[in-house]
Amino acid sequence: MGKTFAERRKEAIDLGQSLTEKIKADGVDAPQKKQFMSQLVEVNDTLEQINTEEAFAKSQAAHAQGLEKAGAGQPGNQNRDEDKRAKSLGDHFIKSVGGPDGLQRLKESGVKSTVTPWFEKAAGDTLTTGGQGGATAGEESPFAPWLTDVDREVVRGYRRRTVIADLLGSGNISGSIVKYFIEGPIEGGPRTTAENAQKPQFSMGNPTAESDPTKKIAGWFKMTDEMLEDLEFVASEINNRGLYELALEEERQLLDGDGEGENLLGLRNRSGVQALEAAEAGAKGASEAIFAAGTRIQIATGMMPDALIINPLDYEQLVLQTDGNGQYFAGGPFSGQYGNGGVQQNPPIWGRNTVVTPAVAVGKPLVGALRRAATIYRKGGVRVEVTNSHADDFIHNRVTTRIEERLALAVRRPSAIAEVSIDSGVPVPTP
Q: Tens digits of per-residue pLDDT, 370-420?
A: 999 999 999 999 999 999 999 999 999 999 999 999 999 999 999 999 999
**Residue 131, SS3 per DSSP:** coil
Domain positions in the chain are 5-63+92-147, 164-184+199-421
- Residue 115 confidence (pLDDT): 47
* Cβ pair 17, 119 in contact under 8 A: yes
* Cβ pair 246, 407 in contact under 8 A: no
- Overall size of the chain counted in residues: 431
d(CA 116, CA 139): 32
Q: Is 39 exposed, middle or buried (0-12, 13-18, 19+ CB in 10 A)?
A: middle
Q: 14-38, pLDDT tens digit by residue? A: 888 887 888 778 777 777 877 878 8
Question: Which of 388, 414, 415 minimizes the C-alpha distance to 401?
Answer: 388
Provide the 10 A C-beta neighbour count for residue 394.
12
d(CA 143, CA 327): 63
CATH class as words, domain 164-184+199-421: alpha beta
* Cβ pair 401, 384 in contact under 8 A: yes
Pairing mode of beta strands 186-187, 366-368: unpaired
pTM score, two decimals? 0.66
* Cβ pair 44, 15 in contact under 8 A: no
d(CA 228, CA 226): 5
Q: Could you tell me the CA-to-CA distances from 83 to 59, 78, 109, 163, 259 in Å, in that order?
A: 10, 10, 27, 74, 90
Task: Dump the DSSP string for 50-86.
Answer: HHHHHHHHHHHHHHHHHHHHHHTTS-S-TTHHHHSPP
What is the residue type of 167? L
Structural element, H or E, at residue 137: none
**Residue 398, SS3 per DSSP:** strand
Kindly give the parts of the chain with pLDDT less than 50: 74-78, 82, 114-119, 430-431
- Residue 116 confidence (pLDDT): 44
Question: Which of 94, 108, 417, 57 minimizes the C-alpha distance to 265?
Answer: 417
**Burial annotation 55-68 (CB, 10 A radius, 16+ → b, else e):** eeeeeeeeeeebee
Q: Which residues touch 161 (CB under 8 Å, ≥6 apart)? A: 357
